Amino acid sequence: MPVLSAKRVRRDLRAGDRRGECRGLPGPAARRHRRQSRDRLDPGSMRGCRGSGRHPRTADRMARRAAAHWRQARIPAVRGGIRVARHGEVRGWRAPRCRCRGRPVHRARGGRVMNFPRSRQMERFGNQSGWRVAVVIPARNEQDRIRGCLDALAASLARARCPGGIVLVVNNTDDATAAIARDWWGAHPDSPGILLDCESPADQAGVGWARRQGLDAASAQLPQDGNLMTSDADARVDPGWVAANLAELTQADLICGTVRPMEAELSRLPDAFGRHGPREGAYMQAIVRLISTLDPQPHDPAPAHRNAAGASLAFSARLHADVGGMPCLPIREDRVFVGNAEARDWRIRYAGAPVVLASCRLTGRTGGGMAAALRARIEEDDPLCDELLEPARTALLRYGLKGQLRRSWPDGALVGVLTPHLPPGRDRGGHFGAFWRLVENALPGLRPVRLRQSDLPAQQKILNDWFAGQPPGRERT
């Protein structure tokens, strides 16, 4: 209905219309227009009131800002739609597309039109209330494997009898992964889930960024005492994986599960792959035994595997918030995340009960991942070992000193001797993990050194002699 005024108006204007002009309007309408004009200058402070729509230029600018800083933009969603935005994320209901001055926009349920950020689109399926656990899966060009991954996750969630859902992050994908996921949820209406279709920034492309987006969205869905889990799109979780993680979380704060290769794919690898496996596995067992001997943890009893893989992680929502979320790294984001949790003195458990079967493909989605490691063991005569495998003398020094410092923390004599020689740790905060990180960075003898397969026999002998009670040989590492 037009606004009536004794003054001459340039055109009819509804009170909620943002494209009118201030002059000639009655007092209340003029004040509303000035307030909306102020808001237009800062999309982050816009008020989500009903109206005919945002100004096209404002909406386009808002979408660009949300694409770059969606966590800081505080852009409100449609008030008449599913729900108002929380934690700065844009949420809306996917509906038929429409055009606004040549720019694609989405009409959210409730009638208002706004530009949806092209870098992050969210869709919801099934029941969205009462979640206690959320499983986050990053996926990039996984159209051949995503259906099997979702089937395994749904079966594991159903067996755990714990309300929760799947958060799938389809990142930088140019195949039908997202479409197949929508079809899967359409065929499984009782499986709650969230689908994020993203394009990561060029300087943050990788699995770390995608996993972070999924964990942030899942955290907003859970209560403070909820639990988060992560796996991979090319993996298959065991039917009891979710239940095993929940059981282990009663003993620790972060669970690193067991990742095994798919037997069918492992059997198809070239024979050259078997040249290095037994020798590397034996030295890995010796290192794990050494850690359990020199630096035992009551919440992580032997046998432990010491493998922190994003294919099987489980942790509380409180831990996720305390460590600042998943690092946006192209590789090793899982091990850095676990290291950050250890620096904050969260209890980490390397459990054998939660089992995930990982693919043995030789062409991965990121450089330096599991596919690259498998390919190196096939193609190279003397490939590098896993980074956990360090020279025996370095491992003896590292875990021997760590165990002694832990036992004397925080007021022991050894801690007092080392503290004056360490750089000031602003983030130490009374945590032993942060103190130990300073010690590792300060001592030259603890700098990491990567071993090659040809180095393992001599290093294995040093550890065998140490376990037998004999002093290590004089070979230099």
The 10s digit of each residue's pLDDT in 396-406 is 999 999 999 99
Please determine, for residue 190, whether its predicted confidence score (pLDDT) is greater than 90: yes
Per-residue pLDDT at 227: 98
| Eight-state DSSP code of residue 43 | G
Q: How far is CA 202 from each of CA 324, 328, 437, rounded to the nearest angstrom? A: 22, 12, 31
205 burial level (CB within 10 Å; 0-12, 13-18, 19+) = middle
Q: Residue 214 is encoded by which pair of tokens? A: 């999924």
Diameter of the chain measured on Cα atoms? 102
278 vs 472, residue with greater confidence: 278
- For the beta sheet containing 103-107, the strands, ordered from the edge strand earlier in sequence to the opposite edge, are 97-100, 103-107, 113-114
The CATH architecture assigned to 122-379 reads Alpha-Beta Complex (3.90)
- Quote the pTM value: 0.74
Q: How far is CA 410 from each of CA 72, 373, 397, 442, 443, rounded to the nearest angstrom? A: 38, 40, 20, 18, 19
Per-residue pLDDT at 48: 40
Please determine, for residue 176, whether its predicted confidence score (pLDDT) is greater than 50: yes
Please determine, for residue 246, whether its predicted confidence score (pLDDT) is greater than 70: yes
Nearest to 229 by CA among 214, 251, 213, 240: 214
Confidence of residue 36 (pLDDT cuts 50, 70, 90): low
Per-residue pLDDT at 258: 96
Q: Residue 446 is encoded by which pair of tokens? A: 């603890």
298 vs 362, residue with greater confidence: 298
Q: How far is CA 179 from each of CA 56, 70, 141, 207, rounded to the nearest angstrom? A: 29, 24, 11, 20
Length of the chain: 477
Please determine, for residue 365, whether its predicted confidence score (pLDDT) is greater than 70: no
Nearest to 309 by CA among 329, 335, 331, 328: 335
| Eight-state DSSP code of residue 384 | B
The C-alpha atoms of residue 120 and residue 32 are separated, in whole angstroms, by 31
C-alpha angle 172-173-175 in degrees, rounded to nearest 5: 165
Per-residue pLDDT at 161: 93
Buried b (16+ CB within 10 A) or exposed e, 132-167: ebbbbbbbbbbbebbbebbebbbbbbeebeeebbbb
What is the rounded end-to-end Cα distance, in angstroms, of the chain? 85
Buried b (16+ CB within 10 A) or exposed e, 386-402: eebbbbbbbbbbbbebb
205 vs 218, residue with greater confidence: 218
pLDDT above 70 as % of the chain: 71
Please determine, for residue 344, whether its predicted confidence score (pLDDT) is greater than 60: yes
Positions of CATH 3.90.550.10 in the chain: 122-379
* pLDDT 10s digits, 109-163: 333 323 333 456 899 999 999 999 999 999 999 999 999 999 999 999 999 999 9
Least confident of 35-44, 260-269, 453-462: 35-44
Say if residues 290 and 399 touch (Cβ distance below 8 Å): yes
Per-residue pLDDT at 375: 86
